[in-house]
């Protein structure tokens, strides 16, 4: 196997793993919305390490509850 092929394979695998992780986080976020405000806010706190903008979107979504919360999860994990 040449080095370019190995690099391409590594990059592809990295993107796949990242997509799976994002999907899992999005599912956790939506579960938190469904579970109610406290768990939603806890999930936002865990997201804080990804940046204040993401944290703010998450907190606003939790505050609005319901579908707004789910929409917030979708926005956070598609950026």
Q: Is the sign of the CA dihedral 24, 19, 48, 44 positive or negative?
A: negative
Domain range for 28 is 8-76
Task: Please report whether residue 26 resides in a domain.
Answer: yes
Task: Please report whether residue 55 resides in a domain.
Answer: yes
Q: Residue 4: its pLDDT value, please?
A: 66
Q: What is the pLDDT of residues 44-59, one digit of tens each?
A: 777 777 777 777 777 7
Task: Please report whether residue 56 resides in a domain.
Answer: yes
Residue 77 DSSP label: T
Q: Residue 21: its pLDDT value, please?
A: 55
Task: Please report whether residue 2 resides in a domain.
Answer: no
What does the buried/exposed string (b/e) look like for 17-28 if buried means 16 or more CB atoms within 10 Å of the residue's CB? Answer: eeeeeeeebbeb
Q: Residue 8: its pLDDT value, please?
A: 57
What total of structural domains would you count in the chain? 1
Q: What is the pLDDT of residues 3-33, one digit of tens each?
A: 665 655 555 545 544 554 555 777 777 777 7
Task: Please report whether residue 38 resides in a domain.
Answer: yes
Task: Please report whether residue 3 resides in a domain.
Answer: no
């Amino acid at each position: 196997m040449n080095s370019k092929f190995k690099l391409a394979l590594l990059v592809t695998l990295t993107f796949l793993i990242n997509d799976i992780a994002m999907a899992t986080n999005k599912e956790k976020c939506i579960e938190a919305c469904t579970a109610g405000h406290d768990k939603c806010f806890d999930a936002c706190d865990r997201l804080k390490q990804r940046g204040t903008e993401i944290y703010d979107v998450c907190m606003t979504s939790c505050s609005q509850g319901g579908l707004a919360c789910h929409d917030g999860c979708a926005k956070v994990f598609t950026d």
